[in-house]
Amino acid sequence: MEDFLRQNIVLVSTLAKAIVVPIAIMNVVPFMVLLERRGSAFIQDRRGPERASIFGIRMFGLWHTIADAMKFITKEKVVPAGAHPVFFYMAPALLLIPAIGAFAGVPFAADVTIAGETIPLQVARLDAGILYAFGVASLGVLGIALAGWASNNKFSLLGSLRSASQMLSYEVSMGLTIMGVLLIYQSLRPEVIVQAQAGPIWKWGIFVQPVGAVLFLVVGFAEANRLPFDLPEGDSELVAGYHTEYSGMKFAIFFMSEYMSMVTISAMVTTLFLGGWQIPFVTTERLHGWFGTDVAGQALTALCQVTSFAAKVGSLLWLFVWVRWTQARFRFDQLMKLGWRTMLPLALLNLIVTAAVMLVIWKDDPRFGLGFTG
Amino acid sequence: MSPLAQYFPIAVLVLFAIVVAVFLIGLDHFLGPRQPNPTKLEPYECGILGVGTARQRFKVGFYIVALLFLLFDVETVFLYTWVVLFMPLGLIGFVEVALFLFVLAVGLYYAWRKGALEWE
Amino acid sequence: MPISPQDFWCSSPILILCGFGTLLLIVDARCGKGPRDLLPIAGLSLFGLLAAGAAVLLLWGEFGSGGVAPVECFTPMGGMGAAIRCDGYVLVFDAVFLLAAGLTCLISLGYLERMDLRFGEFFALILFATAGMMLMASAMDLVVALLSLEVMSIALYILCGLARTDLRSNESALKYFIIGAFSSAVLVYGIALVYGATGSTALPDIARAASRIDFARGDLLLVGSALIVTALCFKIAAVPFHGWAPDAYEGAPTPVTAFMSTGVKAAAFAMFARIALSLFASYTIPATEVLWLIAMLTMIGGNLAAVVQTNVKRMLAYSSIAHAGYLLVGLVAAVDRRQTDGSVTVGTPDIAFYLIAYTLMTMGAFAVVVWFGRRRREYLLIEDFAGIGFRHPFIAIAFSIFLLSLAGIPPTAGFMAKFGLFRSAVATGHTDLAVIGVLTSVISVYYYLRLVVLMYMRETETGITPTYSPATTLAIVVSGYGVLHLGLFPGSLWRLAEIGAQTLAW
């Protein structure tokens, strides 16, 4: 067994990463729900859920989320009469799969070298990892649109239409806002972008691309359908939006997907703008210098970096909660106005200004060509 | 290693995601009670009796958003290639993309002035 | 080979038109929808067309008047062929497109005001469509050809449906769009097959590769060529691919119909000739026979159908189908004498000359139809024209000149143009086609002269007083002068067309 592991370390680690990472993200969801409940209580100056206890142990209300899960599973299955028999079931799956898949390109620690093999600590190392992440993340809109249509409910349909146009509107800006970062780091590979942010904190994307960072964060909120952009649900207008007719586990999948897409977006913000797994001023080499480069040292290094990554993602997740409980929801026309008339022109401007500045900075670089001479 | 091999972990991941999704939906399908009655299966409309089907024509504004998205997002895709090749393409590349973005901006301006971005 | 400033200079007519089109969109977005707000936009578009025309003239002058040396533009890296090229052939056709676009802008100003279609986009779309036509004429690569075709077509789909509240306009736009999309799909499929057979989309490479393919075994190339020819026949509305044309022409706003039947036809023929001469250059495909059949069918079908029409626009639509047939006669002659380098001396100059004459006379005829209308009202029935010879003698004379020219009666441009085509047909041994052409021209005399007869031979009490539009009148005067000039002194233009056609070889 040990020999097999040693010989097939790449294959085994690849499989392990592809299974462990999604499970980890899915397990963030209960904690995120807890954070949301306790956070909202904290913001609203009340106590929040804490009563559920097992043998007198309350675990700060964590049992509530577990009770939720039990309840979701044992709920009655209701499929409305006019609902589409196939699409009604397909829609949650179509939302869940991209939510799990989108995380694949994000690196969460520096490469480790075990038995002579370099193992990247990221599920898949792709030539265009950023494009992959955005491409897959944008597939989620299909599930939402399908859910609304399959339910045969007017609230659902309206919610899904709103959601589709909201996500489409902000996706345009999303593509353009990240372009500035990609231009500065000259890569579509997340691991290269993170590596470029090593060392001093001012090398982080948020400092070289402040406008892009703010725009991207706003777009991220919109793409995750979170307040102040939660119009697809808009409970005071549309009951529950696209998942009005969903109950039980199928509803739970929508619920989970929303939180998972928040995690993914936070991870992307971290990767692009907050230095990814980089610890400020402490490069991988320095960590290796402290811990050594044997297996234990590498593991410690990776642990530190994963902790750094998790801390950044966690802070952003807290930001999501914070914003949700302090901001009011947009009206739909305000949302469209913001997306098309503010975000898009700003994103275009940001890109062209960035390009012009880099043109001046790089004009003496030997890699800099003058035209199509190839 | 073939360029497709880097997608092997993705395939594993997606397979895993499909298994999870099917498992969860299956769990929901087979566990839990089921006592349907006609009233319960009606579309939920806050207790008011529903009129007609939900699958009908909707506001044309959504189509306009879809069209605008198609235009701008497809044009965004072209920029990705330029962005990573910014250095070798140099000044001419920059000028061409600036022109491209200018046309894009004119399109946005036009849509704006013509009221395609209004939502009432 | 890097992109050089020369590439931009050689494609400057296209770039100027695109620039002005974009500018027009901005201006239009700032302008109101008042009664005279179209004027600056129309003026700007005419200025843009003039600027492009100046660029064409300068290019023609720069390359020398004796023989215009072709310049390959925008050659990508990696051993692919040039995307477009600038030669005499292109410049001659550019002039045709600019003429058609300019006259369209002139006649549409009054029309749009009168019909409450105050869309500034109209002029921008005309400019974009013209740019697409120029690209079509200069495309040296099938992919570029397809893209330019789409640039032109998409602008025209919108133009056809400009009268949004008019059911016929909607019908026209939808029919044109569906058939256009369909024929584009056929074209793409043909391109794919030709690419599969020859390994290239560049026209010279295709011709070279095709020469190595045996006709009996080259079924991929055969099917691909057939699909491309079919798609182009859709675009020029040749029988039996003409079904969309009468409805699309009838429903579209009249200036758009004029533009479609002149500019689009010219562009499609410019592209057709270049692609056909390259595709069949050294391939023993029975191309002449196929084109012969289509030409014959188109001449007979178009003319016979035009006889029974009672609507002037519909009649002119069928007449434009018939003229496509005459033009195909020239193409048959050209393809018959094709050389392995894509050059040809017979047929193509006649096609170019015919298209100039045809543009002038058809534009003139449509200008009269546009002129003959009032606020929110058009008079399109043949009966409506009864007696205008007495009330509007000058317009009636001009209309008669255009109709006589369309029928091919001397001393008008139409006669000289037709003469040239049939002479080439006889010279290449296609006397049968020339005979059919002459006979069908005799049929066409009936329906063209019927209008003339109505104008002069029958008096009516209820006279229609058209809304006066100086721009439309100017367009009528210009085309009338052009038709007569080309009919009486065709020599200089003939020479230009010949010089242009000589540069077809790559």
| Packing angle, helices A295-324 and A284-291, rounded to 10 | 130
**If we measure between CA atoms, which residue out of C282, C280, C200, C168 comes closest to residue C232?**
C280
**If we measure between CA atoms, which residue out of C464, B62, C366, C172 comes closest to residue A169?**
B62
CB contact under 8 A, A371 and C2: yes
Please give the pLDDT value at position C1: 47
CB neighbours of A278 closer than 8 A, spacing ≥ 6?
Answer: A194, A197, A198, A199, A204, A305, A308
Please give the pLDDT value at position C127: 94
Long-range CB contacts (< 8 A, 24+ apart) of C49-53? Answer: C49/C17, C49/C20, C49/C98, C49/C101, C49/C102, C49/C105, C49/C127, C49/C130, C50/C102, C51/C16, C51/C20, C52/C12, C52/C13, C52/C14, C52/C16, C52/C17, C52/C20, C52/C94, C52/C98, C52/C130, C53/C13, C53/C95, C53/C98, C53/C102
Residue C118: phi and psi, rounded to 5, are -80, 70
The answer to whether C5 contacts chain A (CB < 8 Å) is no
Q: Name residue B68's amino acid.
A: L
Q: Is A199 left (phi over 0), alpha (psi -120 to 50) or beta?
A: left
What residues form DSSP beta bridges with A54?
A: A57
Q: Name residue A78's amino acid.
A: V
Cα(C143)–Cα(C126) distance, integer angstroms:
23
Cα(A304)–Cα(B9) distance, integer angstroms:
25
The answer to whether A163 contacts chain B (CB < 8 Å) is no
In this structure, what token pair is assigned to residue C359?
């543009």
In this structure, what token pair is assigned to residue C262?
């002149």
**Residue predicted with more confidence, A245 or C396:** C396
Q: Which tens digit of pLDDT belongs to each residue from A87-107?
A: 888 888 888 888 888 888 888
In this structure, what token pair is assigned to residue A179?
């372009």
**If we measure between CA atoms, which residue out of B84, B21, B14 comes closest to residue A123?**
B14
* pLDDT-based confidence at residue A48 (cuts at 50, 70, 90): confident
Question: What is the nearest CA distance from A289 to chain B, expressed in angstroms?
Answer: 31
CB contact under 8 A, A125 and B6: yes
What's the distance, Cα to Cα, between the start and end of chain C in Å?
Answer: 18
* pLDDT-based confidence at residue A189 (cuts at 50, 70, 90): confident
The answer to whether B31 contacts chain C (CB < 8 Å) is no
Tell me: cis bond preceding A22? Omega within 30 of 0 counts: no
Cα(C52)–Cα(C44) distance, integer angstroms:
12
**Which of B92, B106, B112 comes nearest C22 by C-beta?**
B106
C: neighbours with 3+ CB pairs under 8 Å? Answer: A, B
B: neighbours with 3+ CB pairs under 8 Å? Answer: A, C
Which residue does chain A place closest to C76, by CA atoms?
A: A372
Q: Which tens digit of pLDDT belongs to each residue from A218-233?
A: 888 888 877 777 766 6
Please give the pLDDT value at position A6: 67
The answer to whether C3 contacts chain A (CB < 8 Å) is yes
8-state DSSP, C462: S
Chain C stretch 425-454, residues whose beta carbon is closer than 8 A to a beta carbon of chain A: none
Please give the pLDDT value at position C355: 92
The answer to whether A80 contacts chain B (CB < 8 Å) is yes
Burial, C216: exposed, middle or buried (Cβ in 10 Å; 0-12, 13-18, 19+)? exposed
Which residue does chain A place closest to C3, by CA atoms?
A: A372
Residues of chain C contacting A371 with CB distance shorter than 8 Å: 2-3
The answer to whether B114 contacts chain C (CB < 8 Å) is yes
Kind of pairing, strands C71-73 and C84-86? antiparallel
CB contact under 8 A, C3 and A374: no
Please compute the mean of the pLDDT values over residues A314-326 and round it to a whole number.
Answer: 88
- C356 within 8 A of C96, measured Cβ to Cβ: yes
Which residue does chain C place closest to B92, by CA atoms?
A: C3
The answer to whether A369 contacts chain C (CB < 8 Å) is no
Q: Which tens digit of pLDDT belongs to each residue from A61-82?
A: 778 888 887 888 887 777 777 7
Residues of chain B contacting C4 with CB distance shorter than 8 Å: none
Question: What is the nearest CA distance from A244 to chain B, expressed in angstroms?
Answer: 7
Please give the pLDDT value at position A373: 44
DSSP helix/strand/coil, A324: helix
Beta strands in C200-311 (DSSP E): none
Cα(A273)–Cα(A204) distance, integer angstroms:
6
Tell me: cis bond preceding A30? Omega within 30 of 0 counts: no
**Chosen from A72, A77, A264 to mutate, greatest number of chain B CBs within 10 A:** A77
- C372 within 8 A of C386, measured Cβ to Cβ: no
CB contact under 8 A, B110 and C25: yes
Please give the pLDDT value at position A372: 46
What's the distance, Cα to Cα, between the start and end of chain B in Å?
Answer: 54
DSSP annotation string for C70-82: PEEE-PPSSSPPP
Residues of chain B contacting A250 with CB distance shorter than 8 Å: 25, 28
The answer to whether A370 contacts chain B (CB < 8 Å) is yes
Domains of chain B and any CATH numbers: 56-120 (1.20.58.1610)
The answer to whether C77 contacts chain A (CB < 8 Å) is yes
Name the helix (H) or strand (E) containing A106: none
Cα(C261)–Cα(C263) distance, integer angstroms:
6
In this structure, what token pair is assigned to residue C448?
């063209």
A: neighbours with 3+ CB pairs under 8 Å? Answer: B, C
C73-91 as b/e, with b when 16 or more CB fall inside 10 Å?
bbbeeeeebbbbbbbbbbb
| Packing angle, helices A210-223 and A154-185, rounded to 10 | 160
Please give the pLDDT value at position C367: 92
Q: Which tens digit of pLDDT belongs to each residue from A107-148?
A: 888 887 777 777 777 878 888 888 888 888 888 888 888 888
Which residue does chain A place closest to C75, by CA atoms?
A: A372
In this structure, what token pair is assigned to residue C422?
């049939």
Residues of chain C contacting B92 with CB distance shorter than 8 Å: 3
Q: Name residue A269's amino acid.
A: V
Q: pLDDT tens per residue, chain C (506 residues)?
A: 466 778 888 889 999 999 999 999 888 888 777 777 788 888 999 999 999 999 999 888 887 555 556 777 777 766 677 888 888 888 889 999 999 999 999 999 888 888 888 888 899 999 999 999 999 999 988 999 999 999 999 999 999 988 888 888 999 999 999 999 999 999 999 999 999 888 888 888 888 888 887 777 778 888 888 999 999 999 888 888 888 888 899 889 999 999 999 999 999 999 998 888 888 876 677 888 889 999 999 999 999 999 988 889 899 999 999 999 999 999 998 888 877 776 777 888 889 999 999 999 999 999 999 888 887 778 888 888 888 888 888 889 999 999 999 998 888 899 999 999 999 999 988 899 999 999 999 999 999 998 888 888 877 766 677 778 888 889 999 999 999 998 888 888 888 888 887 777 76
In angstroms, the Cα distances linking C446 to A193, A319, C304, C403, C443 are: 76, 82, 10, 11, 6
Please give the pLDDT value at position A370: 57
* pLDDT-based confidence at residue A169 (cuts at 50, 70, 90): confident
- A273 within 8 A of A204, measured Cβ to Cβ: yes
With a pLDDT cut of 70, the percent of chain A lying above it is 93
**Which of A26, A154, A188 comes nearest B84 by C-beta?**
A188
The answer to whether A82 contacts chain B (CB < 8 Å) is yes
Interface ipTM above 0.90: no
- C372 within 8 A of C466, measured Cβ to Cβ: yes
The answer to whether C26 contacts chain B (CB < 8 Å) is yes
SS (H, E, C) chain B: CCHHHHHHHHHHHHHHHHHHHHHHHHHHHHCCCCCCCCCCCCCCCCCCCCCCCCCCCCCHHHHHHHHHHHHHHHHHHHHHHHHHCHHHHHHHHHHHHHHHHHHHHHHHHHHHHCCCCCCC
Which residue does chain C place closest to A374, by CA atoms?
A: C77
pTM: 0.85
Residues of chain B contacting C3 with CB distance shorter than 8 Å: 92
* pLDDT-based confidence at residue A168 (cuts at 50, 70, 90): confident
